[in-house]
Amino acid sequence: MDFEQEIARRRTFGIISHPDAGKTTLTEKLLLFGGAIQEAGAVKNNKIKKSATSDFMEIERQRGISVATSVLAFLYNDKKINILDTPGHKDFAEDTFRTLTAVDSVIVVIDVAKGVEEQTEKLVEVCRMRSIPMIVFINKLDREGKDAFDLLDEVEQKLGLSVTPLSFPIGMGYDFKGIYNIYEKNINLFSGNSKQNIEETIAFDDIESTELEGIIGENSAQELRDNLELATGVYPEFDKEAYLEGAQQPVFFGSALNNFGVRELLDCFVDIAPSPRPKKAEERLVASNEKDFSGFVFKIHANMDPKHRDRLAFIKIVSGTFERNKPYLHVRLDKKLKFSSPNAFFAEKKEIVDISYPGDIVGLHDTGNFKIGDTLTSGEKLSYTGIPSFSPEHFRYINNADPMKAKQLYKGIDQLMDEGVAQLFTLELNGRKIIGTVGALQYEVIQYRLEHEYGAKCSYENFPAHKACWVEPMEENEEFKEFKRVKQKFLAKDKRGQLVFLADSAFSLQMTQQKYPTVRLRFTSEPT
């Protein structure tokens, strides 16, 4: 297989959803189709529990899991599928946002009864801003839920998408009879209770045929014909180009748990989903079929064994091939590095590979060279853009609780921040350090890891901030000077040295924006 064919057969994507909508179940069914796992439950048992507690062993166990399930790769119809895991737990949302910079498309899972939920809105917004192609899967059709048209409406309204159904349910919940597959133009009947097995369905091609009445009953047959007529009247025809540009989102219905509608989703996905897309670097747009290698770090994971301080940096390959033992330029450090044991990921294991292609993820052992967002190339000075930090939700001062271990503490904080566990802000006024996180859970993780991996102790103190707002660089005019003088106590620098305003409440943020209209504040560290 040549280079172009290798690229064309790769599908690198993420599944996003609000917790409990069925992301893990769907992932597992996709892996079963790919023959990557033999039994249901293999992924499920590895799931990061939503009720992550302050039990440290639990946190450690879960960190281990998140390495194991970071990338799940398998072959299906000769396509190489890479699923990038996106933690559903809200406290790990930032990890998910970063992973979304490494996917070429996404599948959005929505619960038929709950409809669009909060976490889905946030994640879809990020994908929409980046024009990532999205397919929507409405799950749990075996349960009572919302009317299909109402749901399609809700997806359009709340998520700001332009949908078109590619399948349509026949009944729902107790009366769920099956799905008409608009994309393949056939009917699959739900035989119920197929549960963990690969789907058992009856294919049926002609919707106008009177045989339909015999199988799903007169009322259902009429209802389906009416619904399809309405759907084709209201929604535009599927347009692959529009989907690829992020301007149209096809919708499938099904039940992941019962393995119903999953094969249809997968078949359509491998058919229409994009192979690795070009990526914007600060300098230029880089096409995946360029011969020279380039890639970027989107995730860093510390070694689970505290005796070995090395970490695993996850690189998404954007262009060219990545080869074992070949020197590559670490652009930020302006240094050539060689990797003797790059890891590739398969369903649940990782192994050393000699060559990887655009769309693939390689895991590189790292002793502290990498930060999230770093670029590696064959030699060209490129920097991939678009791994922003989002405003944390929680803020606390971090204090050194063991004066003898200051050095260890700062080293530990530095490395944990490189991994993207949390964000560090240094107050302009007095140099005190503030840790900002998306969820409260991270504080315990940081404290625990500082102690166990770096031998340092820390304590926290509340810092009353509501949001971190990055101040766009601007000229030193009177307004800017006054803003800096008045807000002195709330100004800090982030790790990259960018100025950040830590607003103490939504109200004060609003007042500040009104009072200093030319000072531009952003909720992400760089434009998304």
Quote the DSSP letter at residue 337.
E
* C-alpha span between 371 and 270 (Å, rounded): 32
Q: Is 256 in the site for ligand G4P (CB under 6 A)?
A: yes
Question: Minimum distance from CB of 44 to ligand G4P (Å)?
Answer: 6
Structural element, H or E, at residue 521: strand 521-522
* C-alpha span between 469 and 248 (Å, rounded): 32
Q: Is 19 in the site for ligand G4P (CB under 6 A)?
A: yes
User: How does strand 423-427 pair with strand 433-437?
Assistant: antiparallel
Q: Note whether 371 and 297 are within 8 A (CB).
A: yes
Q: In this structure, how many other beta carbons lie within 10 angstroms of the beta carbon of residue 226?
A: 10
By beta-carbon proximity to ligand G4P, the closer residue of 28 and 418 is 28
Distance spanning both ends of the chain, measured CA to CA: 36
Q: How many residues bind ligand G4P (CB under 6 A)?
A: 18
Q: Is 25 in the site for ligand G4P (CB under 6 A)?
A: yes
Question: Minimum distance from CB of 47 to ligand G4P (Å)?
Answer: 6
Q: Is 83 in the site for ligand G4P (CB under 6 A)?
A: no
> Nearest 5 degrees, angle CA 4-CA 321-CA 415?
140
- Phi then psi for residue 316, to 5 deg, are -90, 125
Determine whether the annotation assigns residue 19 to a binding site.
yes
Map the footprint of ligand G4P across residues 40-79, applying CB under 6 A.
44
Structural element, H or E, at residue 32: helix 23-33
CA distances from 379 to 168, 289, 290, 321, 383 (A): 50, 16, 13, 13, 12
| Interface with ligand G4P (CB under 6 A), residue from 6, 11, 13, 21 | 21
Among 19-27, 280-288, 329-337, 380-388, the segment contacting ligand G4P (CB under 6 A):
19-27
Determine whether the annotation assigns residue 394 to a binding site.
no
Q: Is 88 in the site for ligand G4P (CB under 6 A)?
A: yes
Query: Residue 214: CB partners within 8 Å, gap ≥ 6?
Result: none
| Interface with ligand G4P (CB under 6 A), residue from 7, 14, 16, 24 | 24
Map the footprint of ligand G4P across residues 93-152, applying CB under 6 A.
139-140, 142-143
Show the site string, 188-227: x = touches ligand G4P by CB under 6 A, - = not: ----------------------------------------
Among 67-75, 77-85, 254-262, 311-319, the segment contacting ligand G4P (CB under 6 A):
254-262
Alpha carbon 135 to its chain centroid, in Å, reads: 14
Q: Is 17 in the site for ligand G4P (CB under 6 A)?
A: yes
Q: Is 23 in the site for ligand G4P (CB under 6 A)?
A: yes
Question: Minimum distance from CB of 216 to ligand G4P (Å)?
Answer: 20
Query: Tokens representing 181?
Result: 């597959």
Q: Note whether 137 and 110 are within 8 A (CB).
A: yes
- Point out the annotated binding site: 17-24, 85-89, 139-142
- The residues binding ligand G4P (CB under 6 A) are 17, 19-25, 44, 88, 139-140, 142-143, 255-258
Residues in binding site for GTP: 17-24, 85-89, 139-142
